[in-house]
Amino acid sequence: MLRGHQTWEFENQPVILSTGTVGGPFEAKGELADDFDLLHEDLWLKQDSYEKAQKVLIEKSISRAIEKSELRNEDIQFMFAGDLINQITPSSFASRTLAIPYLGLFGACSTSMEGLALAAFLVNAKGAERVVTAASSHNAATEKQFRYPTEYGGQKPPTSQWTVTASGAAIISNVGDGPVVTSATIGKVIDMGLSDPFNMGGAMAPAAADTIVAHFRDRNLPPDHYDLVASGDLGEIGLPIAKDLLKQKGLDLPEDTFQDCGLMIYREGQPVLAGGSGAGCSAAVTYGHLLNRMKRGELNRILIVATGALLSPLSYQQQETIPCIAHAVSIEAGGGMT
């Protein structure tokens, strides 16, 4: 059901049946290490390229979610997945291994909630009974493509963020026990003229604020409706900007309600500059840490606002500014998720 201009409400309340989260060695030292299903000791994952390693991250997160739900690959009708690498090859090559009918997505770091929104829409509309959605990123693969190979040792300004090495997957079902997906707000592309690829938080903050305001407006919700509103990866720079923009737009969220996945995932003292980022950041934090908190009864209603910077190396070389987007999905506590 369409509410307002850009929000779907899911009257059948698709269930998050199970999840799988896989991380790398830096994430194993982070604040949320205990919330991962599997952590790897090295960035290579026994592969001969970082891109192939990212493919393995995706395969393992989806396989773990399927295993935890006691299903088989053939029980899943569709797979939504995406990442940051050119032509989303890690996701596409992972789908080759998993042999699940596949729809590839690119929303940069907003891909996690783009996938969850579409999976929930498909299940809610009875277009499928079970859909898996996943998003991933790999630090070394992403740095090599968008900035410099890490071996180069290039200096970064304090506004830059650390790409998370992780993949998060969730199985969305029409039946079962688990948290339910209640709505999704699809964002608009917002470009405020920023062109610095080392300041993604500042570039994405206006898109996050625009989508959050649209969500509360379309659903006619009070500011204290959610226990937690979590952005994908605005970091230390973007989060306070987004909070200021919300207040300017007349939406004053309760103190400490608005937080950021990129600021949750690492410990104080890890050299991540302005925080974590990457398509795998919000996916792993949501499908691991936040749903675990929901399972323990600490959270009842959450809104995840995944933010993405829709630039490419080519657009940056052509001196384009950075168009950004944010998609928001609301999740409410249900039965016993695995």
Distances (CA, A) of 293 to 301, 328, 332: 11, 19, 12
Average pLDDT estimate for 57-84: 98
Confidence at 157, pLDDT banded by 50, 70, 90: confident
Confidence at 143, pLDDT banded by 50, 70, 90: confident
* Contact criterion met (CB below 8 Å) for 324 and 203: yes
By percentage, how much of the chain surpasses pLDDT 90?
A: 91
Nearest-CA neighbor of 194 among 159, 230, 145?
A: 159
Token look-up 């950041």 returns 281
Q: What is the DSSP string of 267-332?
A: -TTSS-BT-EESHHHHHHIIIIIIHHHHHTTS-SEEEEEEEEE---HHHHHTT----EEEEEEEEE
pLDDT digits (tens, 9 = 90+) for 90-125: 999 999 999 999 999 999 999 999 999 999 999 999
- Residue 106 CA to residue 293 CA, distance in Å, equals 28
pLDDT digits (tens, 9 = 90+) for 3-37: 999 999 999 999 999 999 999 999 999 999 999 99
* Contact criterion met (CB below 8 Å) for 275 and 230: no
* Contact criterion met (CB below 8 Å) for 303 and 186: no
For CATH 3.40.47.40, the residue range(s) in the chain are 2-173, 183-331
Pick the CATH number of 183-331 from 3.50.50.60, 2.30.30.110, 3.90.1150.10, 3.40.47.40: 3.40.47.40
pLDDT at 300 over 60: yes
pLDDT at 1 over 70: yes
pLDDT at 136 over 90: yes
- Residue 306 CA to residue 312 CA, distance in Å, equals 18
- Residue 264 CA to residue 285 CA, distance in Å, equals 8
pLDDT at 173 over 70: yes
Nearest-CA neighbor of 50 among 86, 81, 79?
A: 86
Distances (CA, A) of 32 to 28, 179, 187, 333: 8, 20, 28, 21
Confidence at 338, pLDDT banded by 50, 70, 90: very low
- What's the pLDDT score for residue 335? 54
* Contact criterion met (CB below 8 Å) for 291 and 333: no
pLDDT digits (tens, 9 = 90+) for 235-256: 999 999 999 999 999 999 998 9
- What's the pLDDT score for residue 175? 96
- This model's pTM is above 0.75: yes
Distances (CA, A) of 91 to 79, 181, 315: 10, 23, 22
Confidence at 337, pLDDT banded by 50, 70, 90: very low
Confidence at 275, pLDDT banded by 50, 70, 90: very high
Domain 2-173: assigned CATH number: 3.40.47.40
Average pLDDT estimate for 323-330: 98
146-160, 216-230, 232-246, 272-286: the lowest-pLDDT one? 146-160
Average pLDDT estimate for 221-234: 97
Q: What is the DSSP string of 202-224?
A: HHHHHHHHHHHHHHHHHHT--TT
pLDDT at 44 over 60: yes
Q: Apex CA 38: angle with CA 36 and CA 41, to 5°?
A: 115
* Contact criterion met (CB below 8 Å) for 13 and 182: yes
- What's the pLDDT score for residue 237? 97
Instruction: List the structure tokens of 61.
Output: 């997160």
Q: Is 12 exposed, middle or buried (0-12, 13-18, 19+ CB in 10 A)?
A: middle
- Residue 245 CA to residue 7 CA, distance in Å, equals 20
Average pLDDT over all residues of the chain: 95
* Contact criterion met (CB below 8 Å) for 114 and 327: yes
Confidence at 336, pLDDT banded by 50, 70, 90: very low
- Residue 29 CA to residue 26 CA, distance in Å, equals 5
- What's the pLDDT score for residue 153? 67
